[in-house]
Amino acid sequence: MAARRTAAHCPAPGIGSSDGCIASGASRPMEPIVPPTERTRLRRLHERGHYDRATIHGILDAQPLAFVGWVVDGRPVVTPTLQWREGDRVYWHGSSASRALRHQDGQEVCLTVAILDGFVLARSGFHHSVNYRSVMLFGRAFRVADPEEKRERLRQFIERLFPGRYATLRADRPQELKATTVLGMEIGEASAKIRSGPPKDEEEDYALPIWAGVLPVRMVTGEPEADPRGLAGLEPPEYVRSFRLG
């Protein structure tokens, strides 16, 4: 996978790359962006929309839990799964017998992740909200067919969550790789949406004696729970003890 390009490597818009670059304001450098499309451009609350790869990648990397939308018989299905990002692609996987994966292969999907950052309590019901970071990706899912590439993608999945673990595991067996389907999609049509900060009330409502503010929410890990069948004397590895989500 290509390393993320910096502003210095950013070509002129539309040249030599599927992602353009824009100058998004006098105070910001040129940034690689995913050009907004009819589907991804925010029509309302424009200030919440982000199309730069750094923001989109950051949210994908912070939230493995993804929701993949697909269509069967003209009707929508949303399947929760874990995703991981490698460069400008995201991947997800499951059993080769999975109905969802078989239907998604080669088809249009929408992959969405969202992180709930807090409840926003305003002085009227109308202005209650949530702080969040979300990403929507549109595109066609492709299947990783080559067994060795599949093995490498699955290795990356584990390594991105738990660096160093894969090499310590019992090796993958050919029949296990065969029983696993890995799908991917390009981050080619995508947008991020972010809300942060305190409530935004009607000007006259700030005088009301109502507590308002944000109740922050975050995901945390608890104490590692060793497998009751685990061998004596094995301690949780450092990558488990220092694991952080978000």
Is 13 in contact with 22 (CB distance < 8 Å)?
A: yes
Q: C-beta of 123: minimal distance to a copy of itself in Å?
A: 6
Q: Which is nearer to a copy of itself, 44 or 47 (CB)?
A: 44
Look at the chain and count its residues.
246
Is 109 in contact with 66 (CB distance < 8 Å)?
A: no
- Cα–Cα distance between 88 and 130 in angstroms, integer? 28
Q: C-beta of 183: minimal distance to a copy of itself in Å?
A: 14
HSE-CB for 98 with a 13 A CA cutoff: 18
Q: C-beta of 29: minimal distance to a copy of itself in Å?
A: 30
Q: Which is nearer to a copy of itself, 10 or 70 (CB)?
A: 70
Residues forming a β-bridge with 75: 72
Q: C-beta of 11: minimal distance to a copy of itself in Å?
A: 30
Cα distances (Å, whole numbers) of residue 63 to 66, 154, 181, 217, 246: 7, 17, 21, 14, 6
Is 89 in contact with 185 (CB distance < 8 Å)?
A: yes
Is 193 in contact with 42 (CB distance < 8 Å)?
A: yes
- Cα–Cα distance between 179 and 110 in angstroms, integer? 24
Q: Which is nearer to a copy of itself, 21 or 110 (CB)?
A: 110
- Residue 211 DSSP class: -
Q: C-beta of 68: minimal distance to a copy of itself in Å?
A: 7
Q: Which is nearer to a copy of itself, 32 or 118 (CB)?
A: 118
Q: Which is nearer to a copy of itself, 9 or 128 (CB)?
A: 128
Q: Which is nearer to a copy of itself, 54 or 214 (CB)?
A: 214
Burial class (CB in 10 A: 0-12, 13-18, 19+), 84: buried
Q: C-beta of 244: minimal distance to a copy of itself in Å?
A: 11
- Cα–Cα distance between 46 and 37 in angstroms, integer? 14
Q: Which is nearer to a copy of itself, 12 or 238 (CB)?
A: 238
